Structure 1
């Protein structure tokens, strides 16, 4: 039996004196799953994503990703783990405007110490597959929102991560650009990429996810 890519057991996250952001959440995600996490503001969606990425630590419980207990890693080890195993896509792209598209995509590979020639060839293949090859030497500010989000996805995939995490990937896009990203995520899922995406976009969830989880008040209300 294949080990899960994500395994959360009894995870609770408390902040200060308020109610927990997450309450006793247990969750497994198998390789190749595409999971959409839905829920109202304050339901715990972003907290869940941050815990999986190792950007936050649980108050109770364990978080295992790609076979590693990310809840036990220090800050430097957590950053190294993300570079090797987790690709992150954000709502507002987080591209560096003073780097070309190609250099933005290559940055995680350079930080991971990957061989330059192989990384550059892989980045070129990613950009070509995402319809961005002609923009490799352009700067992000010259691209549309949908194109910038595709660059962000290429950057997230350049180190061949076991897991792709996307936080509201269509939230800052117009309708046409959002449709481009929906198609892209659907293609990635079809290719076997494990994906967890947080979204308010029900169309995105229905188009891209094989599984939908709804959170409310820090608990899993539905998992289908």
Structure 2
């Protein structure tokens, strides 16, 4: 059995994923991501990028191989354990924000803590800290629909970081933003990684990858076709 290396937050060993009789979405994938890395995943549509994110999030299971995150064999977890794993280990940021428009900004950010059973006072303090840090504290009582795209993505990032997850997953985080808001989110992700946050982001935005990623892989037909580590200074 493959033994994970504790220096790596993510360790995928010989991972394959097939759906029905179609071609393999991932095939024999071996990938290790060190703690504190920012990994950009590039590749054409159908290359396996979304499948990789879903496996790391425990939203899908591999057909073959092992998926280990922070020492946990995610592929072996029960559905209930996967839900707990996502609450404690993974923050997720999506292209279209996935905020609840009937809740305030503050309540959207508080939601992961409530699901995890965190006490209200502690959760409120953490949420206030995040909103202030991300420059959106003035919008705490507003509904997300009244915010710009860039502001909504900042709310989504705050929500993703609420439970201090070791892993932040971002799926096309600038895909629905104008150029100015996209640049704002790129800078935010770069700052988070500089502070030690491990990030895996799927993107078609080469500027995002170049600005944020310490390492870039390209998937083609479910395999890693390119794996490049950025220069130390970026």
What TM-score bracket applies, with the shorter chain setting the length? over 0.9
| Corresponding residue of 1:163 | 167
Q: Distance in 2 between matches of 1:66 and 1:143?
A: 35
Question: Where do residues 48-197 of structure 1 align in structure 2 (5 Å cutoff)?
Answer: 48-197=52-201
How far apart are residue 43 of structure 1 and its match? Answer: 0.4
Q: Distance in 2 between matches of 1:117 and 1:3?
A: 34
Runs of 4+ in 1 over 6 A off after TM superposition: none
Unaligned stretches of 5+ in structure 1? none
Question: SS of 1:5's equivalent?
Answer: strand
How far apart are residue 2 of structure 1 and its match? Answer: 4.6
Q: Distance in 2 between matches of 1:200 and 1:7?
A: 24
**CA displacement 1:56-98 (0-9 Å, x = unmatched):** 0000000001110010112121011000010000111000001
Q: Distance in 1 between matches of 2:91 and 2:191?
A: 16
TM normalised by structure 1 equals 0.99
**CA displacement 1:74-131 (0-9 Å, x = unmatched):** 2121011000010000111000001000000000000000111111101101000100
How far apart are residue 178 of structure 1 and its match? Answer: 0.5
Q: Is 2:214 the counterpart of 1:210?
A: yes
Q: Is 2:222 the counterpart of 1:222?
A: no
TM normalised by structure 2 equals 0.94
Question: SS of 2:55's equivalent?
Answer: helix
Q: CA RMSD in A?
A: 0.8
Unaligned stretches of 5+ in structure 2? 229-234
How far apart are residue 3 of structure 1 and its match? Answer: 2.7
Q: May I ask how many residue pairs the two structures share in their alignment?
A: 224
